[in-house]
Amino acid sequence: MRITEFSNPRMAQAFVDYMATRGIMLRIEHDEGYVLWLDDDSNVNLVENELNQFIRDPNHPRYLAASWQAGNTESGIRYQPSSLMENIRQRAGPLTLSVMVICVAVFILMQITGYPVVMSWLAWPDVGQHYQLWRWFTHAFLHFSLLHILFNLLWWWYLGGAVEKRLGSGKLFVIMLISALLSGWMQSKYSGVMFGGLSGAVYALMGYVWLRGERDPESGVYLERGLMAFAVVWLVVGYMDWFGLAIANAAHVTGLLVGLAMALVDSRQAKRS
């Protein structure tokens, strides 16, 4: 029995893989589109019901998980190669990309003019600078090494992009704003104003995405427990100073707590509604 036809091969494969986890085998035939066929028509009602749910939300994490669980490389589908920039844009929204561009631009400017010059413009407010309101947030754009900026931007793209795509630019903006402010304030108590980086917001996103996914799977955002464990281990590494790295530990912990608190509030509101 012919079930449906997709123009997107990834969507076709995702649904086939998901149905395989339910014990129902579908076949894909490629002509002008990607046609799904069911050999055992006794399961047609279940397949049609699942198809309706899939069409409403094809990007739900359960379909990606199904491909990891039941997918194979022998489906007959051949994907066209895509560029790196196209892959980045597909996962990230305008706010995610804008922050990445600003961080890169500031990093390049720091290499040209020197760190002290740019920090004198953007760093956390020192004595007499507290009315320069942008400083309470722009410290997040400062990065001091290639490894530093790559680490933060990869996590920002991976987590921030997911939040923006699933929950909207407004939610990502609020998470970034609150985490940058509170993590910067706490870090300034420990190290003064000589710090910077997006890691406070990154840790907030880690905490938010992980707990929101655990408590509210329908939100569509989640972080694997293994990656969350890595984040916690990295916190311990920072406090133990095993590698002699200058790590903003207070900002990391504060950001993580901010993200967990926001996820707790949002997941409770989602359950009430």
**CATH value at residue 54:** 3.30.70.2350
Give the mean model confidence (pLDDT) for residues 255-273: 91
pLDDT in tens, 234-252: 788 776 665 555 577 888 8
pLDDT at 75 over 80: no
In the three-class reduction of DSSP (H, G, I as helix; E, B as strand; rest coil), residue 24 is classed as: coil
pLDDT above 90 for 261: yes
Same domain? 123 vs 177: yes
Residue 79 falls within a domain, yes or no? no
Tell me the per-residue pLDDT of 83-134, one tens digit each, with 9 for 90 and over. Answer: 667 777 777 889 999 999 999 999 999 999 999 999 999 999 998 898 999 9
- Give CA–CA dist 37/1, Å, rounded: 6
Do 236 and 104 have their domain in common? yes
Look up the domain containing 257 and give its range: 84-272
pLDDT of residue 72: 61
Domain limit, last residue, from 24, 48, 70? 70
Q: What percent of the chain has pLDDT over 70?
A: 91
Assess whether 50 and 151 both reside in one domain: no
Number of domains in the chain: 2
The CA distances from residue 201 to 79, 142, 180, 197, 266, in Å, are: 35, 13, 6, 9, 17
Residues 20 and 132 in one domain: no
Lowest-confidence pick of 2-6, 62-66, 70-74, 220-224 = 70-74
Cα torsion 157, 162, 168, 174 to 10°: value is -60
Average pLDDT for 126-154: 92
- Taking residues 142-147, what's their average pLDDT? 92
Number of residues written out for the chain: 273
Based on the fold, state whether residues 31 and 137 are members of the same structural domain.
no
Identify the domain boundary among 16, 35, 70: 70
Q: In sequence order, what DSSP letters do the residues of 93-139 get, joined into one string? A: -HHHHHHHHHHHHHHHHHHHH-HHHHHHHHSSP-TT-TT-TTHHHHG
pLDDT of residue 143: 94
Q: Is the pLDDT of residue 263 over 90?
A: yes
* pLDDT score, position 136: 95
pLDDT for residue 70 is more than 90: no
Domain containing residue 209: CATH number: 1.20.1540.10
- Residues 62, 134, single domain; the answer is no
Mean pLDDT along residues 208-227: 89
175 and 55 both lie in a single domain? no
Which of the 8 DSSP states describes residue 3? E
Same domain, 107 and 186: yes
Question: Is residue 265 over pLDDT 80?
Answer: yes
Q: Which residues are catalytic?
A: 199, 252
pLDDT at residue number 243: 52
Q: What is the pTM of this model?
A: 0.70
Beta bridge partners of 26: 38
Q: Does the pLDDT at position 178 exceed 90?
A: yes
77 lies in some domain: no
Does residue 55 share a domain with residue 88?
Answer: no
Q: How confident is the model at residue 74 (pLDDT cuts 50, 70, 90)?
A: low
Domain boundary among 24, 46, 70: 70
Determine the pLDDT at residue 29.
84
136/175 same-domain check: yes
User: Is the pLDDT confidence value at 73 over 70?
Assistant: no
| Residue 105 and residue 171 share a domain | yes
Residue 238 located in a structural domain? yes
Which bin fits 126, alpha (ψ -120 to 50), beta or left (φ > 0)? beta
